[in-house]
Amino acid sequence: MEFRNLKRQYEFNKENIDTAIQNVLNSAHFIQGNQVVELEKKLSEYVGVKHCITCANGTDALKLALMTWNIGKGDAVFLPDFTFFATGEAVAAVGAVPVFVDVDVETFNIDVHRLEERIKKVIEEGCYQPKVIIAVDLFGQPADYLEIRKIADEFNLYILEDAAQGFGGAILNKKACSFGDISATSFFPAKPFGCYGDGGAVFTDRDDWMQLIRSYAVHGKGNSKYDNIRIGMNSRLDTIQAAVLLAKFPVYIDNELQESSMFAKVYDEQLKDIVKIPYVKKNYFSCWAQYTIQLKDETERFKVQNYLKKECIPTAVYYPIPMHKQKSLKNMGLQNDCAVSEKLCKKVLSLPLDPYMKHEDINFVVKKVKESLTE
Ligand SMILES: *Cc1c(COP(=O)(O)O)cnc(C)c1O
């Protein structure tokens, strides 16, 4: 069994993907080909945001947003303590101070009460200027943007949505990647909507920010690539990757999202009485980047994970180390109590889930999880 079966996904969509890649080879427009333009148009329409700017990966997408807002030295950026490293890395990379905020034990997403406390504390201490809240749509479920927006308005902060795991999710009819003043996503192969290499995108309604993002992504270009008016980076989505995403897009929207949800429900039903299953809030739609259960403690998790491993069932621990304990960020982020995040790092276990699973795979995983706990 695979943790996320990308091979089966390719087999199912082989013809369309092969043709799409072949067309790029024939055209030889490997950088900024028509497919890139077409993809940006499709994605911005789907998400319901005016501009989509593709780039080289999700980490760059976050950085491009922060650069556009001129975030740097002396600025405080608030982000969840329980997330992939890149969320904090992007903040540190532009020279700002990451302020880690504890998360909600049910949704894994940033705890809005703790967020408000932390912002007030930073203002009170007076060392750093609060500028941005980065909310992460962890494991596929959008963060609590209704509350986060109120807080951002109250303290005059920008919201950057890190939807690297969230593309395809929604709150009611409003899609992920539309909740931030700027939103970012990743097309890394194992993300819900992945390409066949690295890729990412930035979304915004603002024309002026779109222009800045496009400039920063291409060497700080002015009127042309050879007129360089600011220090930027080289961050573009390859045409081949855009072609792969275009071929996969209708399948993702029309089938894969529903299939993943359906399998998650099957897990829920069969596991709800034995472990803590993931919780998706009412009116929230997860795109199921991960199906993450919580065990009692580290010992129990170790037991379950090893038992499954012996049965050739791959699992993953996202994430084993809270952000505030990462060696590279430890002395940089402002110290803060993140008890929930620390506990989650010891208890979480992500099970295999992808739209191309078979029912017998799920049943097998469930059976083995049960066995491991009663052994
Ligand atoms: C994957 C991920 C990123 C970074 O995306 P890349 O394309 O790998 O650079 C950022 N934030 C979160 C939450 C992620 O899961």
Tokens describing residue 151? 């807080």
Terminal CA-CA length for the chain: 22
Give the pLDDT confidence of 289-325 residue by residue, as tens digits.
Answer: 999 999 999 999 999 999 999 999 999 999 999 999 9
> What per-residue confidence (pLDDT) applies to 332?
72
Ligand 1 atom with the smallest distance to the CA of 200 is 7
What is the percent of the chain where pLDDT is above 70? 99
Give the pLDDT confidence of 60-99 residue by residue, as tens digits.
Answer: 999 999 999 999 999 999 999 999 999 999 999 999 999 9
Tokens describing residue 48? 């319901």
CA–CA gap between residue 311 and residue 1 (Å, rounded): 9
57 CA to middle of ligand 1, Å? 8
CA–CA gap between residue 205 and residue 172 (Å, rounded): 20
Residue with the nearest Cα to atom 7 of ligand 1? 58
CA–CA gap between residue 239 and residue 38 (Å, rounded): 10
Tokens describing residue 181? 């003043």
Q: 75-80 and 129-136: which strand pairing? A: parallel
162 CA to middle of ligand 1, Å? 8
359-374 vs 257-271: helix axis angle to the nearest 10? 30
Average pLDDT over residues 207-224: 96
Residue with the two structure tokens 């099957």:
266
297 CA to middle of ligand 1, Å? 27
86 CA to middle of ligand 1, Å? 6
DSSP secondary structure code for residue 250 in this structure: H
Q: Which of helix, strand or coil describes residue 72?
A: coil
> Cis (ω within 30 of 0) for the bond into 318?
no
CA–CA gap between residue 372 and residue 375 (Å, rounded): 5
Ligand 1 atom with the smallest distance to the CA of 59 is 9
Give the pLDDT confidence of 17-32 residue by residue, as tens digits.
Answer: 999 999 999 999 999 9
Ligand 1 atom with the smallest distance to the CA of 90 is 10
β-strand partners of 228: 221
* Residue 37: pLDDT band with limits 50, 70, 90: very high
Q: Judge whether 185 and 68 are in contact, CB under 8 Å.
A: no
Ligand 1 neighbour 86 (Cβ under 6 A): yes
Q: Judge whether 187 and 201 are in contact, CB under 8 Å.
A: yes
Tokens describing residue 28? 């030889």
* Model pTM score: 0.97
Q: Left if phi > 0, otherwise alpha if psi is -120 to 50, otherwise beta: which for 283?
A: left
Average pLDDT, the chain: 96
CA–CA gap between residue 62 and residue 57 (Å, rounded): 9
Residue with the two structure tokens 């809030």:
281
> What per-residue confidence (pLDDT) applies to 329?
85
> What per-residue confidence (pLDDT) applies to 25?
98
Longest dimension (CA), the chain: 67
Q: Judge whether 184 and 53 are in contact, CB under 8 Å.
A: no
Tokens describing residue 121? 């504390």
CA–CA gap between residue 374 and residue 120 (Å, rounded): 47
62 CA to middle of ligand 1, Å? 9
